[in-house]
Amino acid sequence: MAEIKIISKEKQMPKVVRVAAYARVSSDKDAMLHSLSSQVSYFSKMIQSHDSWKYVGVYSDEGMTGTKSNRQGFIKMIEDAKAGKIDVIVTKSLSRFARNTVDCLKTIREMKAINVDIFFEEQNIHTLSSNGEFLISLLAGYAQEESRQCSENTLWRVRKNFKEGKPYGGSSMMGYKLEKGKFTVVPEEAKIVKRIYDLYLAGNGFCKISRILTNEGIKSYTGGFWNKTSISEILSNVNYTGTLHLQKTFTDNHINKRNKKNKGEKPLYIVENNHEPIISKEVFDEVQRIRKIKAEGKNRQRKGPAYPFTGLIFCGECGHIFKHKTTKYYDNWVCSQYDDLGKAYCASKKIRDDVLRKASAEALNMDSFDEIIFKERVSSIDAFNGNRLVFHFKDGTTKEVIWQSPSRKDSWTDDMKLKARERSIDYGKC
């Protein structure tokens, strides 16, 4: 008779699992921030209470909706997971993780491919389980529909207010304060607004006005330094005439939530004599006439296509956008605040266009710069001192590149060398 032996497997110690958590709130209001703090505290205690779990940390985003793809805490967490630092991600619910079905499933599959489990506590779902992805597909679709309905409800309230001639929300502007849906004049701020209009009519440009106000220690409405944008916004705001324009901008959809300028896609609501004017209609119209003439002159002077980096480079030191400037010898990119106000307000470095193209090619792992591929893959670039460029790609990843300043010798073109020799000869003749 055959003898049957039962071999019991030796009991193994539980594997230490590296666990992180993700928390998010969709508003930066005090109540929401308190909720975020509670989430972070809860997950920290929860993870550290498990003997077999190693606490990695809690990644969080505040004031960010689940439909937005630029959540820095979320992006950092995914990067760390891909780098092999995380085994399990714990989050409260699917709606906290993402409300976009496509992005949600894309992230889940990326994590599954590297054997990283995502645990949704509220739904009690592990993504590495056999039926995890099927259930998540259903729930993600539900969460996205919920997001759409919330957006529609909000939009209905906004449009209702517009039809009644009421601004929506608590936003205001320099010169006024918004109280119970009505704009009332703030005298000290109104003086600044009037002065900006007077300075412009006296022949001063945006940069000159910025310097004057900044040098006098006058703060902008946000409490920061003045720049061309803040001056332009005041000089183009028809609300200073006492006429209220509503729905000048709108949100394109509930997923992207991008704010777009209303160019006739939506109705524009105009409320005449809504509040006390700071600027007369005659002064406002004259300013717009001058601005139009100047803009037409600049358009006639502008040659060639737009530069590939326009609107994509942001200063890592002050947050302002970089702009293109042409000198006698080079095309450069420089921080707009540095250019407008000087080193006292931003100590960033200018970057030559050819150097930026070389760094972009390196970030894209290419031998040479390709404008089409660059525009397809890169969403923005942060420029820091220390010659650091951080490229943000449209797939949510980032890459840092250290650019090299060309030596004086290498930076001279043949034309520059020829002109230098000619000057030297002329000097010798003297």
- Domain coordinates in residue numbering, the chain: 17-148, 164-301, 313-411
**For the domain 17-148, what is the CATH code?**
3.40.50.1390
Predicted pLDDT of residue 170? 46
Predicted pLDDT of residue 112? 87
Exposure string for 189-217, b = 16+ CB within 10 A, e = fewer = bbebbeebbebbeeebebbebbbebbeee
Segments in the chain below pLDDT 50 = 8-14, 29-31, 66-68, 154, 156, 158, 162, 164-165, 169-170, 250, 253-256, 302, 304, 409-411, 427-430
Tens-place pLDDT, residues 97-153: 775 666 777 888 889 889 999 998 888 888 888 676 666 666 656 655 655 655 555
Predicted pLDDT of residue 300? 53
At 118, phi and psi to the nearest 5?
A: -115, 125
> How far is it, in rounded angstroms, from Cα 391 to Cα 74?
17
> How far is it, in rounded angstroms, from Cα 175 to Cα 191?
8
Predicted pLDDT of residue 234? 92
CB 232, CB 206: distance < 8 Å: yes
Predicted pLDDT of residue 280? 92
Predicted pLDDT of residue 220? 86
Predicted pLDDT of residue 405? 76
Question: Could you give the C-alpha distances from 345 to 209, 224, 389, 426, in angstroms and in order?
Answer: 15, 10, 20, 41
> How far is it, in rounded angstroms, from Cα 278 to Cα 257?
33
For β-strands 125-126 and 176-179, DSSP reports them as unpaired
> How far is it, in rounded angstroms, from Cα 200 to Cα 197?
5
At 244, phi and psi to the nearest 5?
A: -100, 120
Predicted pLDDT of residue 161? 53
- Domain boundaries 164-301, CATH class: alpha beta
Tens-place pLDDT, residues 75-102: 899 999 999 999 999 998 877 777 566 6
